[in-house]
Amino acid sequence: MTDSNSQTMNITIVGAGGMGSRFGLMLHQAGNSVSLVDGWQANVDAIRTAGLVARYNGREVVDRLPIYSPQEAGQLRPQVIILFVKSQQLDAMLEAIRPLIGPDTYLLCLLNGLGHEDIIKKYAAEDHIILGVTMWTAGMTAPGHVTLFGDGNVELQNLRPGEAAETFTKRLVTVLDEAGLNAVYSENVKYSIWRKACVNGTMNCLCSLLECNIGQYGRTSAAAEVIRRIVCEFAAVAACEQVQLDVDEVVAHITATFTADIADHYPSMYQDLVVNHRPTEIDFIDGAVWRKGQRYGVPTPYCALLTQLIHGKEELGRIRQEDSAIPLPLSRTDD
Amino acid sequence: MTDSNSQTMNITIVGAGGMGSRFGLMLHQAGNSVSLVDGWQANVDAIRTAGLVARYNGREVVDRLPIYSPQEAGQLRPQVIILFVKSQQLDAMLEAIRPLIGPDTYLLCLLNGLGHEDIIKKYAAEDHIILGVTMWTAGMTAPGHVTLFGDGNVELQNLRPGEAAETFTKRLVTVLDEAGLNAVYSENVKYSIWRKACVNGTMNCLCSLLECNIGQYGRTSAAAEVIRRIVCEFAAVAACEQVQLDVDEVVAHITATFTADIADHYPSMYQDLVVNHRPTEIDFIDGAVWRKGQRYGVPTPYCALLTQLIHGKEELGRIRQEDSAIPLPLSRTDD
């Protein structure tokens, strides 16, 4: 199992939440040399002590994967780093793991959202950046404990075309695929990234703002109309980046989730904001479209207001805590 | 105290909540003949039984005002009907009190929001409609119980200019003013109505969506920016109705409330939606600007999305109740 064996690789997974743990587990079980890096010390301690504990398609599996905090990881020299941190942690984490990134190191970004390449470019050359999108899901129930079920796939594409980069990435596709991750090299990952961003850019913020699950939002009368407005803004900005989204198809794809198995689910942004009172990835979804729209001269008022409302909700969690020391009577005002 | 006495009038107040009760009390104490009409039977019964009980500038006052349900009110023949129902109740209430509206009856509309004249025109001639705006406030704590404090004023103007109508309205101004309501005849009530609608069209929906009070919203980083975007949409539509709002002045007026006495207050829409789970007046504020904007070809995306979100929140109250019989586990989804 050396890194000259084209069937396996030396891989570091950065961000050992549900998704990072899934990929780490499956790649390790397929014979790759895998290390985890995570910023949450409780998670590092749990996995170091008891191994990664996974409820994996109904079976309990324990995998004693090596895991490091960012400060401990400096001696790792992976062929590829797979990024699975939250978008808002990406910059700081890449800064912390600079020692791992050499001139030959590839970085694979599988984060939801848009614009991550602008951050990664600060740490690696463009021809060593691989963009991807995945439909796999995963749940984390406690430090070192994940729940993995269902199916998924992964699409990869080099950020910048080039023979050496594509050769490596096609090897990586084989490695992922042989680990059961259903990987393909795509000629249009940017399209898939934008399409998935539309899903996140609609349901994540709407369910978080209105504190409901996907199916419940779908039962409100304006749901399809609001979703179409948001997707149209995404499409207008995507077109400026040479991605031609099929608005009707994307809207139909999103509205289909209202009555699918996923209808009972609360999106990850809801978990972050409403359940855990943590900052969201909004600046990498609707916020990114808003920023890009300003750059390209494309108006994106729905993305703008949704971003402003989500940030407002984030801030109000703290503001209400500050005020809760002073009980305020609920007064009726006819204004 | 007959209706030929120019100092007093025969008045029916329709909508005996906080504001209707305040006007009824003050006009009655000044010697006018005042009746109340209300659609809430518990309120009618309470006032009929024990009188209107008002905590009035700190003193307790009881006024045995005559009060009727709409069905009982048919024999009333007021010179003027002062409308204080919720906007969404206006149409149905006017239908119910048709017998009160004769060719000589004036209708004074003091409702918050926009577009009420389009409804009232179905029941009375335009030269018998008086529009107004008031800065008085009032609270209702229970059926027949109101809390009245602070100061205010009233501005009136005929919907359509005309000598007879203006003569009547100027008499009405005197009657209101002599009751302590600080009334004036204004040459530009439409401006005041739009300006007040901007206040309601910002703080009401934002505080209701984010479930906070005025001061708390003001402490979020995007507050001034969001308010400016909304006010600009109101201004663009108002201009199509020959009302030139001073955007900077209106924005400054609204942001001043963040740190005023009113900062601790939760707007009436919050009370309706979040506390009492009742439909809001959104269709007469941001929704009205959206509708008018569509008519005039003026884009109003902030008003549109706020209206859609508030309606979504209204509907989700009912949807969650339907679902609450089926307990759903809160599942983490890394999507």
Integer Cα distance of A111 and A109 in angstroms: 6
Q: Is residue B1 pLDDT above 60, yes or no?
A: no
User: Is B6 a residue whose pLDDT tops 70?
Assistant: no
pLDDT digits over B269-302, tens only? 998 999 989 999 999 999 999 999 999 999 999 9
Q: Is B232 on the interface with A (CB under 8 A)?
A: no
- In chain A, which residues have their Cβ closer than 8 Å to the Cβ of B330? 266, 275
pLDDT at A132 over 60: yes
A293 in B contact zone (CB under 8 Å) = no
**C-beta atoms of A315 and B219 within 8 A:** yes
Question: For A316, which of B220, B331, B335 is closest by C-beta distance?
Answer: B220
- B5 contacts chain A (CB < 8 A): no
What's the pLDDT band for A332 if we cut at 50, 70, 90?
very low
Q: Chain A interface, mutation test: which of B206, B229, B316, B332, most A Cβ atoms within 10 Å?
A: B332
Q: Find out whether A38 and A15 touch, Cβ atoms under 8 Å.
A: yes
Q: Which of residues 119-178 of B touch A (CB under 8 A)?
A: 137-141, 147
Residue A3: DSSP 8-state: T
The C-alpha atoms of residue A35 and residue A27 are separated, in whole angstroms, by 10
Query: Which pLDDT does position B331 carry in this prediction?
Result: 46
* Residue B115 in this model has a pLDDT that exceeds 80: yes
Domains within chain A, CATH numbers bracketed = 10-187 (3.40.50.720), 191-323 (1.10.1040.10)
Which pLDDT value is given to residue B185? 96
Tokens standing for residue A262: 């996923």
> Do the Cβ atoms of A268 and B333 come within 8 Å?
yes
At A210-264, the pLDDT tens digits run 999 999 999 999 999 999 999 999 999 999 999 999 999 999 999 999 998 888 8
Q: Is A196 a catalytic site residue?
A: yes
What are the two backbone dihedrals, phi and then psi, of residue A161, each rounded to the nearest 5 degrees? -65, 150
The minimum CA-CA distance between B115 and chain A, rounded to whole Å, is: 17
pLDDT tens sequence across A2-57: 444 558 999 999 999 999 999 999 999 999 999 999 999 999 999 999 999 999 99
pLDDT number for residue B329: 53
Query: The pTM is what?
Result: 0.86
Q: Give pLDDT, residue A328.
A: 52
| Interstrand relation of A80-83 and A10-14 (parallel, antiparallel or unpaired) | parallel
Q: Which of the residues B86, B190, B196, B292 is marked catalytic?
A: B196
Q: Do B334 and A17 touch (CB under 8 A)?
A: yes
Q: Which residue of A has its CA nearest to B197?
A: A335
- A326 touching B, CB under 8 A? no
Residue A281 pLDDT > 60: yes
The secondary element (H helix, E strand) that includes residue A293 is helix A286-296
By DSSP bridging, strand B129-134 and strand B154-158 are antiparallel
Task: Give me the mean pLDDT over the A205-210 stretch.
Answer: 98
* Whole-angstrom distance, CA of residue B88 vs CA of residue B281: 6
What residues 251-290 of chain B have any CB closer than 8 A to a CB of chain A?
262, 264-268, 271, 275
When pLDDT is averaged across residues B1-27 and rounded to a whole number, the result is 85
Interface size, chain A vs chain B, as Cβ–Cβ contacts under 8 Å: 164
Whole-number Å distance between alpha carbons of B13 and B3: 16
Query: Which chain B residue's Cα is nearest to A222?
Result: B308
| Digit-coded pLDDT (tens) for B206-264 | 999 999 999 999 999 999 999 999 999 999 999 999 999 999 999 999 999 999 888 88
Rounded average pLDDT over B52-76: 97
| Predicted confidence (pLDDT) per residue in B179-200, tens digit | 999 999 999 999 999 999 999 9
The 10s digit of each residue's pLDDT in A152-179 is 999 999 999 899 999 999 999 999 999 9
Amino acid A265: pLDDT: 86
The CA distance from A299 to B306, in Å, is 17
Edge to edge, the sheet with strand B129-134 lists B67-68, B33-37, B10-14, B80-83, B106-109, B129-134, B154-158, B183-185
Contact B309 A141 (CB under 8 A): no
* Best residue of B217, B265, B335 to probe chain A, by most A CBs closer than 10 Å: B335
Write out the two tokens for A248: 């009707």
Distance to chain A for B243, nearest Cα, Å:
22
Instruction: Specify the DSSP class assigned to residue B266.
Output: P
In B, minimum Cα distance to A133 occurs at B335
Cα(B101)–Cα(B97) distance, rounded to whole angstroms? 7
Contact A289, A231 (CB under 8 A): no
Chain A residue with minimal CA distance to B323?
A216
Residue B327 vs residue A198, higher pLDDT: A198
Could you tell me if B229 lies within 8 Å of chain A, comparing CB atoms? Answer: yes
**Would you say residue A334 has pLDDT above 60?**
no
CB B163 within 8 A of CB B171: no
Reported ipTM: the value is 0.85
Predicted confidence at residue A83, as pLDDT, reads 98
The number of C-alpha atoms within 13 Å of B81 and in the hemisphere containing its C-beta is: 31
pLDDT, position B268: 87
Residue in B265, B271, B315 closest to A221 by CB: B315
Check CB contact of A306 with chain B, cutoff 8 Å: yes
- Torsions phi, psi for A194 (to 5 deg): -65, -40
Distance from CA of B153 to the nearest CA of A (A): 13
Q: What is the reported pLDDT for A6?
A: 55
Position B157 pLDDT exceeds 50: yes
User: What's the alpha-carbon Rg for chain A, to the nearest Å?
Assistant: 21
pLDDT confidence band for B114 (50 / 70 / 90): very high
Closest residue of A to B265, CA-based? A331
- Out of B138, B262, B320, whose CB is closest to A334? B138
Q: What local confidence, expressed as pLDDT, does residue B235 receive?
A: 98
CA distance B284 to B267: 15
> Taking CB atoms and an 8 Å limit, are A305 and B308 in contact across chains?
no
Coil, strand or helix: which one is A69? coil
CA angle (B95 as vertex; B90, B98 as ends), nearest 5: 120
3-state class (DSSP) for residue A94? helix
